[in-house]
Amino acid sequence: MRLLLVPAFLCAALSVAVGQDRAASPNERPAARLPDSDKSAPEGQPKAEGAKKSRGAVEFRIGYYDNDDDDSSGNPFLDESLTDIEPVVIVEFQATDKLRLSLMGSYDLVSSASIARLNDYDQRSGASSDNYFGLDLAARYEASEDFRWNAHAGASREYDYLSFGFGGGAEIDLLEDNVTLSGGLNVFFDQVTKVIRFNGQDEGTDNRLSVTVNFGYYQILSPTVHFSLGTSLTYQSGFLQTAYNGVVLEDPSRPQSDSLNPDFFLDLPRGGGLPLPGGVSIEAEKLPETRIRVAVFGEIRKGFPSTGTGLGFATRLYADDWGIVSAAPELRLYQWIVQDLLRVRVRYRFYNQTAADAYDDHFLVPISARSRDPFRPNKERTQDADLGAFFSNTIGLKLVLTPAEGVTVDVGGDYVLRSDGINQLLFSFGVRWEF
C-alpha cells in the first residue's frame, strides 16, 4: 500500500485533535517515533514528556520502519518488502500566555521492491526510492481555564503525490476538570501527480479527498484511575488504490504455484518481451472510489503510587464499507526504574482483521471473462496483503530518560509478527529540550 506516513500522526505530534488514520489499511502501524500522551496518566503512573508548559521546545526524532517479505509471504505474486527512514524536527513556541505554536518538518526515504521494479521504466526517471517532504503548522489557544481550541495546516510532497491538509478542534473541561469533551475535523486533499502502473505506464493524474470527524470523552474516575473513549468517522473519495499494484489472473485449468518468485509475473512483461505463462494475464488493481470508515477506541489506566507503576488496557474496533472489520486490544505497563530519572513502557497488542470484499490470494478467471484493457478492469480486485485477512501480535518497549530539567531522551521499538508472514520492525529515537 502507498504509505502516507507523516499526516497520519500530525495531530498527535502537535497536540491537535485526534489524528486521522490515513493509511489504506485499518491495521494501524504503531507510531513508534512519537511520545506517549499523558492526558490520562493517573497518579503513580510515569508522566510522558512534554507535559510541563514552557516558553518553547525543540524536538528531534528519527524513526525506522522495515516491512519484511523475504519469504514471499502476503501477496503470492509480489515482493512487499519496504523500508522507511524518517527524521522529524518539531519546534514549539509559547507566543503568548494562551497561544502556543508548533512547526513540524519531516523527511521520509522510502525504498521498496515495488519502487525498485519501476526504476527500470523511463517514467520513474531513475528513481529507486520515494522521497517524502512534509511541513505542518499548528496552533493551540487556551480561551479560558476550561476551554481550548486548536488548528493546523500543512503540505507534503513525494515523487508522485502532492497533499494539502488542514483541521481543527476544541475541548472543554467539565465537572471541576474531572471530565473533558473534545471534537475535531481534519481534511486532506491529495493529488496523484503520476499514476504509474505496474508496467511503468503513466496514466496522468488523479485526486483523493479524505475528511475525518473525531469525538472524545475523558474522565478522572479516581486519583489513580482514568478513562477515555473516542470515535472517528472518515469519508474518502477519488483514487483510493495503489497505482503500481497489479493483480495476476490465472486460468482455472492451469493455476500457478505460490513457490515461484513473487516478482516473476510482474517482471515478465518488461523483460525483453518475454511471454507470460499460459493462461496468465496481469491487470491493474481496481478498488471502489469511495470509502467510509468508522472506529471506536477506549482506554482505562490504573496507577499504583507506592511502586511507581501504571497499568493500561486499551482497545480499538474498526469497520468500513469495503468489508474490513478489525479489533485491536492492547495491554501497557508503565514503571519507574529510577524515580524521576528513568522510566519504561512495555506493551502488547493483538490485532485481527477480516479481508476486503475485493481481496483474494488467487483469481481464477477464464480468458473469456477478462477485460480487454488491463488498465480498465471490469471487476474490483486486489491482492494487496494489507487488505487481506490476517492477525498480528505486537510487542513493544520504550525507555525514557530525563537527565536534566526540561530535557528528555527516549528510545523505543516495536516488533509486529503477522500471520501472513509480513513481519514489521519499528524503531525510534528522540530528544526533546524545553526552555
pLDDT at position 11 is 35
**239 is a domain residue:** yes
CATH code of 124's domain: 2.40.160
Contacts of 166 (CB under 8 A, 6+ apart): 151, 152, 153, 154, 186, 187
pLDDT at position 74 is 61
Q: What is the mean pLDDT of the chain?
A: 83
Pairing mode, if any, of strands 179-192 and 99-112?
unpaired
Q: Which residue has the higher pLDDT, 396 or 247?
A: 396
User: In the chain, pLDDT over 90 holds for what percent of residues?
Assistant: 60
Q: Tell me if 250 sits within 8 A of 322, measured CB to CB.
A: no
> Among candidates 301, 315, 292, 40, which has minimal Cα distance to 182?
40
Q: Cα dihedral sign for 122, 123, 125, 126?
A: negative
Count of domains observed in the chain: 1
Q: Cα dihedral sign for 94, 95, 99, 100?
A: negative
pLDDT at position 190 is 96
Least confident of 43-57, 205-219, 244-258, 404-418: 43-57
pLDDT at position 245 is 85
Is residue 202's pLDDT more than 90? no
> Among candidates 280, 343, 295, which has minimal Cα distance to 77?
280
Highest mean predicted confidence (pLDDT) among 4-13, 242-251, 378-387 = 378-387
**1 is a domain residue:** no
User: In the chain, pLDDT over 70 holds for what percent of residues?
Assistant: 77
Domain ranges, residue 154 = 6-434
Confidence of residue 121 (pLDDT cuts 50, 70, 90): low
Distances (CA, A) of 163 to 34, 134, 193, 263: 22, 9, 10, 30
**12 is a domain residue:** yes
Is residue 20's pLDDT more than 70? no
**156 is a domain residue:** yes
pLDDT at position 279 is 84
Report the alpha-carbon distance of residue 49 to residue 25 in Å, rounded: 30
Contacts of 273 (CB under 8 A, 6+ apart): none
pLDDT at position 111 is 81
Is residue 41's pLDDT more than 70? no
Report the alpha-carbon distance of residue 305 to residue 147 in Å, rounded: 30
Is residue 187's pLDDT more than 80? yes
Contacts of 16 (CB under 8 A, 6+ apart): 10, 138, 140, 150, 151, 152, 167, 168, 169, 184
Backbone angles phi, psi at 61, to 5 degrees: -135, 150
**30 is a domain residue:** yes
